[in-house]
A = this chain, B = another copy of it.
Amino acid sequence: MGYKLVSRKEKPDNTVVKVGNVIVGGDCLTVIAGPCAVEDREQYIQVAGYLKKLGVQMLRGGAFKPRTSPYAFQGLAKEGLDILAEAGRVTGLPIVTEVMDTRDVEAVAGYADVIQIGSRNMQNFILLKEAGRTGKPVMLKRGLSATIEEWLMAAEYIMAEGNSDIIMCERGIRTFETHTRNTLDISAIPAVKHLSHLPVIVDPSHAAGRWGMVAPLAKASVAAGADGLLIEVHPCPNEALCDGGQSLTPGNFAQLLGELVPVAEAVGRKCKCEAKHLVKKSII
């Protein structure tokens, strides 16, 4: 019993996911950025404005944070959702945020433009179904040790609810290598594009777990055919409550955007981000 609806055999042409004015899976590279967690209203609104100026197409930020330790910062919950919504209104950018509890799906769908299913919940099948039923676009992160087939099967759970607005997000898998937090499975990009019609984006920040590697991995992902990137940017990574070590500063992120443009063009992608010229003037 394999996947059917998400298979390219079933639908040979690419699925293009529309989120407001933003398109994922088309000619343009889609860049989604923001801090790992929503920590503070003022800080989030400010960084959102900056990202908007750089040409970022969607904002990310976690209100509910899945943390290995019960004693780590768990997110601002409802307050975080309010901040995200405000940032969305102020910038006009769509918002991507994670939902972890079936009981929160309806509420999160009321705030978010894209519902994120995190790695640890990739096989939380009830959550997949509920997210599918909202009709909202769903970003489905690959599980830490999910095979590509299991990942596509998880997408099938969503699509079987009548929702084909699914964005697959590769974020690194668990291997024996300890130098990186996870091992970015770059091959997953052509593999999913071959097996399925769904768009694929990459989260190089969680894959590497080291900010110094985000730029080369982002470029590699685009060169391999990724439809977009999900990148952690924090105004002050050293003070971040979550995953600071893998977050880019706004300055480093602006530089990366500038460097991405020729790579995207080299593989026939447009890059709507205005980063190319913005990077030359200092914004922050």
Contacts and interface: CB of A to CB of B under 8 A. Distances in A.
Interface residues of A, number: 68
Interface in A121-143: 121, 123-126, 129
A217 B179 contact: no
B2 A69 contact: yes
A36 interface: no
A124 to B, nearest CB: 6
Interface string A59-71: 0000000111111
Contact of A153 (B69, B150, B157, B213): B69
5 contacts: A69-B156, A70-B129, A147-B176, A179-B191, A190-B217
Interface of A: 1-4, 66-72, 100-103, 120-121, 123-126, 129, 144-145, 147-150, 153, 156-157, 160, 173-180, 183-187, 189-191, 194, 207-208, 212-213, 216-217, 219-225, 259, 262-263, 265-267
Given A70-B125, A148-B179, 18 more contacts: A66-B125, A70-B157, A102-B102, A103-B103, A147-B176, A173-B183, A175-B176, A177-B185, A180-B187, A183-B183, A183-B185, A187-B217, A190-B217, A191-B213, A220-B220, A220-B221, A220-B223, A263-B267
